[in-house]
Structure 1
Amino acid sequence: MSTVPLQENPESDPLVRQVFDDIRATRGSDFINLLWKYLAFDPPLLKQTWEDVKSVMAEPSALDPKTKEMIYVAVSIANSCRYCVHSHTAAARAKGMDDEEYADLLRVISTASRTNALLNGLQIPVDPEFNREND
């Protein structure tokens, strides 16, 4: 259950309408997912969040779109965000991630989680070679 109510007609607010129109244009789809609909309870928060997500996930950069989505899945798993796991897994699949890549992604995530837990428990110092200051 959400901590805020779903707005009945969120696009009656001009700022929400502007953000939703940009989401539609950016994604090339009329679909507005629940994240954005619920964030419409606070139009400035909605706008800022969309601008942040758009700048990282939709604008061209050194990482291809599928890789960005796969990283988002990994971080969402680490942060226990069920909604984001589902949303970004679907987005990664839409951008070409196949079952073999998904299984490999889950292997990497589970291995990293396990070794991270070991290293957090052991508190081993970082090898000097891993510091960029030594480059």
Structure 2
Amino acid sequence: MPTVPLLSDQTASAAALAVFDDIRAKRNTDYVNNFWRALANDPALLKATWERLQQVMGPGALDPLFKEMIYVAVSVANGCEYCIHSHTAAARSKGMTDAMHGELLAVIAMAAQTNALATALQVETDDRFKT
């Protein structure tokens, strides 16, 4: 259950509606998901988060699919069910196949295991790995 109401177009402020309209336009959709509707309770935070997300997830040195897959991995590490689902859907829309998804999950699981082992053993970092 959300800790804040998910604001509809009828209950959101004018400032939040402006962000909703930008989301719809830039994503070429009529759908505004629940994350944005929750953030609409704080229109300034909604706007800042939307602007930052566009900057980070927009064109750059990393491929858009790769960015979404990184987002999935971090979301798994942080235990964010919402983000796991939304960014898995985004990655699939950008071309992630079932085989790629399976491999991504294997990498996430391997990293989680070896991170836990290195942490538990308090392994000192090799000098050659430090930059």
Runs of 4+ in 1 over 6 A off after TM superposition: none
Q: What is the TM-score when the length of structure 2 is the normalising length?
A: 0.95
Alignment of 1:71-90 (within 5 A): 71-90=70-89
Following the alignment from structure 1 to structure 2, what is the Cα–Cα distance between the partners of residues 64 and 29?
A: 22
Following the alignment from structure 1 to structure 2, what is the Cα–Cα distance between the partners of residues 30 and 66?
A: 23
Deviations 1:90-115 (A, max 9, x none): 00000000000000000000000000
| Aligned match of 2:130 | 131
Q: State the Cα distance separating 1:7 from its structure 2 match.
A: 2.4
Aligned residue identity for 1:101: M
Q: Does 1:60 align with 2:59?
A: yes
| Aligned match of 1:93 | 92
In the alignment, is the contact (CA less than 8 A) between 1:16 and 1:43 conserved in 2?
Answer: yes
| Aligned match of 2:20 | 20
Q: What is the TM-score when the length of structure 1 is the normalising length?
A: 0.92
Unaligned stretches of 5+ residues in structure 2: none
Percent of residue pairs bearing the same amino acid type? 55
3-state SS in 2 of match to 1:115: helix
Following the alignment from structure 2 to structure 1, what is the Cα–Cα distance between the partners of residues 28 and 5?
A: 27
